[in-house]
């Protein structure tokens, strides 16, 4: 899952991003409201963590503009203790939740989990499709007691496929979600990881197949568990 952190206090932004990355989120961090808006408008994030007091454009205006432009990404506002008015204003402007600074990492993670769950994605430790299970804490792919470890990129690609079963996912989407919006990764990097994943699927004897839609992208098929 991909998150955007918009926070101008660099140390806090880095700490936030570190906590989230350790919990297997892919994180982009920006330090002012204008960048926050530009990144948010790409609509590639599963949740945006947005500070209110920001240079160039404040968080409330970023949020209002996103909602006006029909971006429905869940937004978690960061507020200072005293900003009761900001909280009300924020929720009125379309924020989904807020967190008062300072906060502990457990609280942040719980809010993010709840917001991304609301969006309808699977938030268990395990994703399943057909005869396979993908485990989020161990980065492993399994079928009937046979396990294979995945690298971080392999895991992220598999997660995207399995969270959108039988849907065609364009190559650009993998690049945006996994390598980042401004990444100059070549399309054939995705192909290389897909070929690793195919080998691993066959190593555990799965009948799940990563299908190629030539020139477009990939989707999961087969492996009916019944």
Rule CB under 5 A: which residues touch Ca ion? Answer: 8, 51, 53
The CA angle 199-180-101, to the nearest 5 degrees, is 120
**Least CB distance to Ca ion at residue 59 (A):** 8
- Structural contact between residues 121 and 74, judged by C-beta atoms closer than 8 angstroms: no
Task: Closer to Ca ion by CB, 34 or 126: give it.
Answer: 34
Instruction: State the minimum distance, in angstroms, from the CB of residue 113 to Ca ion.
Output: 24
Minimum CB distance to Ca ion smaller for 51 or for 131: 51
Work out how close the CB of 169 gets to Ca ion at its nearest, in angstroms, rounded to a whole number: 35
Nearer to Ca ion, 51 or 159 (CB): 51
Q: How far is the CB of 92 from Ca ion (least distance, A)?
A: 20
Which stretches of 33-122 are assigned E, i.e. beta strand? 47-51, 75-79, 97-100
Burial of 27-45, coded b for 16+ CB within 10 Å and e otherwise, reads: bbbbbbbebbbebbeeebb
- Judge whether 221 and 166 are in contact, CB under 8 Å: yes
According to DSSP, the residues that pair with 30 across neighbouring strands are: 6
Nearest residue (CB) to Ca ion, 8 versus 61:
8
């Amino acid at each position: 899952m991909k998150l955007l952190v918009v926070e101008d206090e660099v140390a806090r932004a880095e700490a936030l991003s570190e906590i989230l990355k350790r919990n297997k989120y892919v994180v982009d961090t920006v330090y002012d409201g204008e960048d926050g808006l530009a990144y948010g408008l790409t609509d590639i994030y599963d949740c945006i963590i947005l500070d209110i007091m920001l240079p160039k454009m404040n968080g409330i205006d970023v949020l209002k503009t996103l909602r006006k432009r029909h971006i429905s990404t869940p937004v978690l506002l960061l507020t200072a203790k005293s900003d009761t008015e900001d909280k009300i204003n924020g929720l009125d402007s379309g924020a989904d939740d807020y967190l008062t600074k300072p906060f502990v990492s457990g609280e942040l993670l719980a809010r993010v989990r709840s917001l991304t769950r609301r969006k309808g994605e699977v938030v268990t430790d395990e994703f399943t499709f057909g005869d396979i299970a993908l485990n989020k804490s161990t980065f492993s792919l399994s079928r009937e007691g046979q396990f294979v470890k995945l690298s971080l990129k392999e895991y992220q690609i598999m997660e995207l496929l399995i969270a959108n079963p039988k849907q065609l996912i364009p190559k650009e989407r993998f690049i945006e979600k996994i390598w980042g919006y401004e990444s100059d990764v070549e399309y054939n990097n995705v192909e290389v990881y897909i070929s690793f994943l195919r080998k691993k699927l066959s190593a555990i004897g799965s009948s799940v197949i990563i299908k190629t839609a030539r020139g477009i992208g990939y989707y999961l098929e087969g492996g009916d568990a019944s």
